[in-house]
Amino acid sequence: MIENAIFKALADPTRCAIFEKLATGSMNASALREGMTISQPAMSQHLSVLKSAKLVREERQGRFVNYEVDPEGLALIAGWLAKYRAYWPARIDALKALLKEMDQ
């Protein structure tokens, strides 16, 4: 049940915000911390959780560690969602937007 770890990781609003920030471009932990009132260890712990949920992956660059979105986690969510396609109504806006995005 890896999806469970993913949902657990995204359940925390701080972690969700970190992920969204990372989605605007990969960066290191210190850069991520800028603009957020969060201690260095807290950031490290959050990144660790996101990493083991496959939502984020790291790449050592000398003294820095560059973090980036890991597509695997997103794909796992997409896979989970696909199981319930039978319940998607034809005209929910968000879904329509998704379909349009994917169509191109």
Partner DNA sequence: ACGACACATAAGCATACACTTATCTGATTC
Partner DNA sequence: GAATCAGATAAGTGTATGCTTATGTGTCGT
Q: Which residues bind its own copies (CB under 8 A)?
A: 1, 3-4, 7-8, 10-11, 13, 16, 23, 69, 71-72, 74-79, 81-89, 92-95, 97-99, 101-102
CB of 83: closest distance to its own copies in angstroms?
Answer: 7
The Cα–Cα gap between 15 and 82 comes to: 24
| Beta carbons of 19 and 69 less than 8 angstroms apart | yes
Residue 42 site contact among its own copies, DNA, none (CB < 5 to 8 Å, cut-off depends on kind): DNA
What is the number of H-type helices and E-type strands within the chain?
A: 6, 3
Residue 49 site contact among DNA, its own copies, none (CB < 5 to 8 Å, cut-off depends on kind): DNA
Q: 34 vs 14, 19, 21, 37, 91, CA distance in Å?
A: 14, 14, 11, 8, 40
CB of 25: closest distance to DNA in angstroms?
Answer: 14
36-65 residues near DNA, rule: CB under 7 A:
38-49, 58, 60, 62-65
